[in-house]
Structure 1
Amino acid sequence: MTGQEPNVRIGDVSGSTFAIGSHAHAESHQHGTGAPADQELLEAVRELRADLARVRATEQTAALGEALADTEAELTRTGQATPTRRERLRELLADSQSLLTVLASAGTVAGLLGL
């Protein structure tokens, strides 16, 4: 060695597990919240977004489409949807009861959110 200590830089590690050192050991335990599997929710959100493109646009469908896009982005980026995001989708789906009866995908998302 040249007398200088090696530099270690670690970027964003949120949601990550790591260990440093010759005898380091890292474990990660995530405990579910009783919410549906986020991968299943992501697939249902994508399906509903695709179905929304096939119906006549209204203020309600536009708001729902925007919330679904935000939810999809969050699920893709972080692997989970926050409780606040889930609650927003619940509210929009509850306000769109006629949509729930027409689109099976809306019913799927509503069911996964416990509506």
Structure 2
Amino acid sequence: MTSDNRSEPNVTLGDVSGSTFAIGSHAHAETRYGTAAPRSEETAQLLAAIRELRADLGRTRSSGGTAELDAALADTEDEITRTGSAGADRLGRLRGFLADANALTTVLTSAATLAGLLGR
């Protein structure tokens, strides 16, 4: 190693969120921006209810059940955001969590709203 800093490359990266870059003599970078997956009005309502319940869960005392419910909600939110809908298995899983959290659905309006939307 040499004490001459000029012989070593120096790269500084700032905030690169939303950016595309490549480093190196043969580097190649491509940027592809897509649009959100289209979703029906019913799915949009479901997504809004999921987000509202997740926000409400963040204001409650966490337990094993609420953590599992939040994880299932996060997975469903992600799937809807990526694909425009949620699969029947995932929605069934949410129904099960909400049935198990019956006390939660009577306390949180958002949980009751989501349970009603899933019951369609």
Q: Deviations over 1:76-111 (max 9, x none)?
A: 000001000000000000000000011000000000
Over aligned residues, Cα RMSD in angstroms?
1.8
1:107 equivalent to 2:104? Answer: no
Pairing partner for 2:99 from 94, 98, 109: 94
Q: Secondary structure at the match of 2:47?
A: helix
CA distance in 2, matches of 1:37, 1:83: 14
Classify the secondary structure of the residue corresponding to 1:37: helix
SS of the residue aligned with 1:77?
helix
- 3-state secondary structure, aligned to 1:43: helix
Secondary structure at 1:89's aligned position in 2? helix
Select the structure of larger CA radius of gyration. 2
Task: Report what 1:73 is aligned to.
Answer: 78
2:66 corresponding residue in structure 1? 61
Q: Which amino acid aligns with 1:68?
A: L
Matched residues in 2 for 1:38 and 1:81: separation? Answer: 8
Distance in 1 separating the partners of 2:114 and 2:82:
19
**In percent, how many aligned pairs have the same letter?**
56
Task: Note if 1:38 corresponds to 2:43.
Answer: yes
Give yes or no for the alignment of 1:49 onto 2:33: no
Any unmatched runs of 5+ in structure 1?
Answer: 1-15, 17-31
**Structure 2 unaligned runs (5+)?**
1-36
Using structure 1 for the length normalisation, give the TM-score.
Answer: 0.68
